[in-house]
């Protein structure tokens, strides 16, 4: 299967297939006749796996680790469990950070609603931001 066929089958762009090939996660065979890359059923399965792993939040480096274990004939499952735990922790932290930012934004919207517009002066560019103080977290 060629790049465009594989991309269409899996609902991704050909550039996505080329990207994962370029970084070494896919290793298609090259046709001697025309130089086109051919993706075997094994490579198709690897791309399906990559897309599923990315949907779960695994990074490209994570997927490389998983493939390394699998390609060595070892079970990648312990690595997958460790990595997903790390990704979940990172996601939880980003979520908490986003919730704190959301709360600050709500406070700003409430505080700025009735304040007048002012022109820049001296060192003040926008008094709304310059006078805004973070609420305790």
Least confident of 12-26, 27-41, 44-58, 82-96: 27-41
Residue 66's pLDDT band, with cuts at 50, 70 and 90, is very high
Averaged confidence pLDDT in the chain = 93
- Report the C-alpha gap between 107 and 96 in whole angstroms: 17
Asked if 12 contacts 1 with a C-beta cutoff of 8 angstroms, the reply is: no
Q: In this predicted structure, what is the pLDDT of residue 42?
A: 95
- 124 phi, psi to nearest 5 deg: -95, 120
Average pLDDT estimate for 7-20: 97
Residue 137's pLDDT band, with cuts at 50, 70 and 90, is low
Residue 134's pLDDT band, with cuts at 50, 70 and 90, is low
Average pLDDT estimate for 115-132: 90
Average pLDDT estimate for 3-22: 96
Average pLDDT estimate for 84-95: 97
Q: In this predicted structure, what is the pLDDT of residue 33?
A: 83
Asked if 128 contacts 100 with a C-beta cutoff of 8 angstroms, the reply is: no
List, as one string, the DSSP characters of the chain: --HHHHHHHHT--HHHHHHHHHTTS--PEEPTTT--EE--HHHHHHHHHHHHHHHTT--HHHHHHHHHHHHTTS--HHHHHHHHHHHHHHHHHHHHHHHHHHHHHHHHHHHHTTPPP---BTTBS-HHHHH--PPP-
- pTM for the structure as a whole: 0.78
Least confident of 12-26, 32-46, 51-65: 32-46
């Amino acid at each position: 299967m060629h790049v465009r066929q594989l991309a269409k089958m899996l609902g991704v762009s050909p550039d996505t297939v080329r990207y994962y090939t370029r970084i070494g996660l896919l290793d298609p065979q090259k046709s001697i006749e025309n130089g086109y890359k051919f993706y075997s059923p094994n490579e198709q399965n690897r791309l399906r796996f990559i897309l599923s792993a990315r949907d779960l939040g695994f990074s490209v480096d994570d997927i490389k680790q998983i493939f390394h274990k699998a390609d060595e004939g070892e079970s990648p499952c312990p690595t997958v469990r460790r990595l997903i735990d790390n990704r979940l922790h990172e996601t939880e932290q980003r979520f908490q950070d986003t919730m704190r930012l959301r709360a600050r934004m709500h406070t700003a919207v409430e505080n700025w609603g009735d304040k007048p517009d002012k022109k820049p002066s001296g060192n003040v560019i926008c008094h709304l931001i310059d006078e805004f103080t973070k609420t305790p977290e």
